[in-house]
Structure 1
Amino acid sequence: MIQILLVDDHTVLRDGIRSILALESDIRVVGEVVSGDEVLKKVEEFQPDCILMDINLPGKSGIEVTSLVKSQYPNCRVLVLTMFEHEEYLMEALRAGADGYLLKDSSSEEVVAAIRMISQGNSVIHPRMTKKLVTYHHQEPNVNMLTEREKEVLFELAQGLSNKEIAEALFISDKTVKIHINNILRKLEVKSRTQAVIYAVRNQLVPFS
């Protein structure tokens, strides 16, 4: 069962999401928060697997809160659900450690699928935001810093594969995959799998739609 904490100050939106998720047998909303200042307290209380996080909140912003949550509860997944389409918000959210970034015009099916994906350790970014990453100007480490095997692992990671699936695809052990991913994160100077996938997309190591 995926335990969800809803963080949004709009009652109508929370009610709608809660109704949608109530139809799923493997997802349960365990709590709701309307202020950024109260999120950490509620995370400690409810121990959610995943947080649906708005950016524009009373008190601390969703990006500030995401950074705090990920530093204190690194296994808690954060899916940003926002109306903001500017790439700066996306990059700030990802730098804060967000595992996914969806826009509020996403369908209910997309939201449910995204929750399941990030709960499995994968990354989710709204298609319109993915395209913006290619034109976002920011100096990044050179891809040639990676070995050929690390590039292969990064490619599979960007396809949404889990560690086990990557191991099977490349005929290596799960432990070896973890070592390669740690090396990739270190060399690319990123903190999460999501940020590594962003790097792969921006440097055209994988196709994007």
Structure 2
Amino acid sequence: MTAAGARPDIRVVLADDHVVVRRGLAVLLDTLPGICVVGEADNGAEALHEVARHRPDVVVMDLRMPDVDGVEATRRIMRDFPDTAVLVLTMLSDDALVADAMRAGARGYLLKTADQHEIERALHAVAAGQAIFSSAVASHVLRRVGAEPRFPALSAREREILGVLATGAGNAAIAARLFLSQKTVANHLSAIFQKLGVSTRAEAIVVARDAGLGRDG
């Protein structure tokens, strides 16, 4: 239980059809301060049920699951529960699957080879509205969305916003840093995504960082 005045715990639902992996992850996460596992599911349909029941901050989602797979479950969560972030944690690094998960709305993508610190950092990041993915995944996303960012198509303001986005900042942080409204930032980001040929902020961050933006953020 969170003490009065303390930062509330990040409430997590785990979705993985391998019970040993899922239970091991639950035990690990429950030892981390500020993180609380509130539900578990062994397929995408159960994940949707647990999200509706608990309204968690983050769903840690495997991709290959029976009934409803992780990509479709992510898509439905983003449609019905947009305040819940999805962090993909899987053994799969296939180009198409990475891109499909990001387009479905996943805010982060880690491989199961990630260590405790990477997982903890990713949970805090996606819960705060940031996008995060392991370096092992970045090359796969780049191959899918194109390694050459079309920055000449961006306006000066759009390039400025992209540079701040590349640090992992959410819309509120971008707005505060550049003295813009969040609505203006959202409108610019929509234009940026279209011009870069990407569908999500995670893909945009990969393209921007490959061009050298945001590395010191």
**TM class by shorter-chain length?**
0.7 to 0.9
Return the offset for 1:137.
5.8
- Structure-to-structure mapping, 1:76-91, within 5 angstroms: 76-91=84-99
Return the offset for 1:142.
4.1
Identity %: 32
Aligned to 1:136: 144
Contact 1:63 1:93 in 2 (8 A): yes
Aligned to 1:182: 187
Once residues 183 and 150 of structure 2 are traced to their aligned partners in structure 1, the CA distance between those partners, rounded to angstroms, is 21
Contact 2:98 2:140 in 1 (8 A): no
Return the offset for 1:143.
3.2
Contact 1:185 1:193 in 2 (8 A): no
Return the offset for 1:52.
0.2
Contact 1:134 1:201 in 2 (8 A): no
Once residues 139 and 164 of structure 1 are traced to their aligned partners in structure 2, the CA distance between those partners, rounded to angstroms, is 28
> Does the alignment pair 1:206 with 2:213?
yes
Q: Which of residues 123, 134, 157 in structure 2 aligns to 1:115? A: 123
- Structure-to-structure mapping, 1:49-128, within 5 angstroms: 49-128=57-136
Return the offset for 1:104.
0.3
| Greater Cα shift, 95-104 or 128-137 | 128-137
Aligned to 2:5: none
Contact 1:85 1:103 in 2 (8 A): yes
Return the offset for 1:193.
2.5
Once residues 85 and 66 of structure 1 are traced to their aligned partners in structure 2, the CA distance between those partners, rounded to angstroms, is 17
TM-score by length of 2: 0.84
> Does the alignment pair 1:149 with 2:157?
yes
Once residues 154 and 100 of structure 1 are traced to their aligned partners in structure 2, the CA distance between those partners, rounded to angstroms, is 18
Letter in 2 for 1:179: T
TM-score by length of 1: 0.87
Letter in 1 for 2:134: H
CA 1:187 to 1:207, structure 2 compared with 1: closer, same or farther past 3 Å? closer
RMSD across aligned positions (CA)? 2.4
Over residues 106-140 of structure 1, what are the superposed CA-to-partner deviations in whole Å (9 max), with x where a residue is unaligned? 00111011000011111111101112333336599
Contact 1:150 1:180 in 2 (8 A): no
Once residues 126 and 195 of structure 1 are traced to their aligned partners in structure 2, the CA distance between those partners, rounded to angstroms, is 13
- How many equivalent residue pairs? 205
Q: Which of residues 20, 23, 39 in structure 1 aligns to 2:31? A: 23
Over residues 6-38 of structure 1, what are the superposed CA-to-partner deviations in whole Å (9 max), with x where a residue is unaligned? 000111111211111111221100000002222
Once residues 75 and 164 of structure 1 are traced to their aligned partners in structure 2, the CA distance between those partners, rounded to angstroms, is 15
